[in-house]
């Protein structure tokens, strides 16, 4: 089924989003990761969730895709960021306020919130800042923001400096495929044609390396949410690849330990991607989480 495209004004920016399913069903908002556009959420996964009875919304975060790009904001230097020199055009909290603004602009009282990687950082922050808006919380490949957990493999940090500063279209797409391959799941097939198609469509929708660096700065200097997570009361599921090289599984475990009664679901052989073979497992686990909230409320 083809998703429905739309835009909405929220938190002072324009947010592009797509929806799947029946608007009469309970809303579910999907928050994507660093530098990735909403189309990185597999259509099939979104449709599976819609078929389970959810009205699914995926959207472009600020500085990617067809949402507002903060072109007047300074572009952080990657070396300075990695050396700890703060240059932060905006924070995770600002991106969380975008998401809260989207929820409010669409007229939803509360939503089932799903976040992956940076989207997980954002979703945690939404739940902390506006818990009344979050019915259930599903987090994938994420961490608490603590510097003690979730460390990337050193080889991946070096990849920041290997990118051509002004690649042409083919170079940019080759670079995107190579970057995804470096963090892909060792136990599942890597699908270069599928990844290349996403990269091509993302490039043509909007290619903005400066926007990526502004998001990276927000990630680099994010707050430690561990203490605040302990105050959350909504049903929470934490999913993580046990072979994740970008955000080590210690990050996901720390989130699950911090949130009261959170459930941790680890996937053997999964890295920092969404392998096709696990899409139905993700959908089933997220749907089960949302139904546990219904059962709890009924009880």
- Domain containing 200 equals 4-298
Cβ within 8 Å of residue 53, ≥6 positions away: 21, 25, 26, 287
The model's confidence at residue 153, banded by pLDDT at 50, 70 and 90, is very high
Query: Which of 84, 85, 1 lies closest to 43 in space, CA to CA?
Result: 1
Q: What is the pLDDT of residue 230?
A: 98
What is the value of pTM for the model shown? 0.95
**Number of domains composing the chain:** 1
User: What's the mean pLDDT in 253-270?
Assistant: 98
CATH code assigned at 235: 3.40.50.1820
User: What's the mean pLDDT in 233-251?
Assistant: 98
């Amino acid at each position: 089924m083809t998703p429905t495209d739309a835009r909405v004004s929220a938190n002072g920016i324009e947010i592009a989003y797509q929806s799947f399913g029946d608007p009469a069903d309970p809303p579910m908002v999907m928050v994507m990761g660093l530098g990735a556009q909403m189309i990185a959420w597999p259509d099939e996964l979104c449709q599976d969730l819609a078929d389970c009875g959810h009205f699914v919304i995926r959207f472009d975060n600020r500085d990617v895709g067809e949402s507002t790009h903060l072109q007047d904001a300074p572009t952080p230097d990657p070396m300075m960021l990695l050396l700890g020199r703060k240059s932060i055009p905006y924070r995770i909290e600002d991106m969380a306020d975008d998401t809260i603004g989207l929820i409010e602009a669409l007229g939803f009282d509360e939503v089932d919130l799903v976040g992956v990687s940076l989207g997980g950082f954002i979703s945690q922050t939404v739940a902390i800042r506006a818990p009344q808006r979050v019915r259930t919380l599903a987090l994938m490949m994420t961490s608490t923001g603590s510097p003690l957990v979730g460390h990337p493999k050193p080889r991946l940090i070096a990849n920041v400096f290997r990118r051509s500063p002004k690649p042409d279209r083919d170079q940019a797409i080759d670079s995107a495929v190579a970057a995804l391959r470096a963090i892909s799941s060792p136990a599942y097939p890597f699908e270069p044609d599928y990844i290349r198609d996403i990269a091509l469509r993302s490039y043509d929708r909007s290619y903005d390396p400066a926007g990526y660096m502004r998001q990276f700065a927000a990630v680099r200097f994010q707050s430690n949410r561990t203490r605040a997570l302990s105050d959350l009361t909504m049903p929470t599921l934490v999913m993580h690849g046990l072979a994740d090289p970008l955000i080590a599984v210690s990050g996901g475990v720390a989130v699950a330990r911090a949130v009261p009664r959170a459930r941790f679901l680890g996937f053997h052989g999964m890295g920092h991607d969404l392998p096709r073979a696990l899409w139905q497992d993700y959908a089933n686990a997220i749907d089960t989480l949302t139904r546990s909230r219904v059962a709890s409320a009924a009880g």
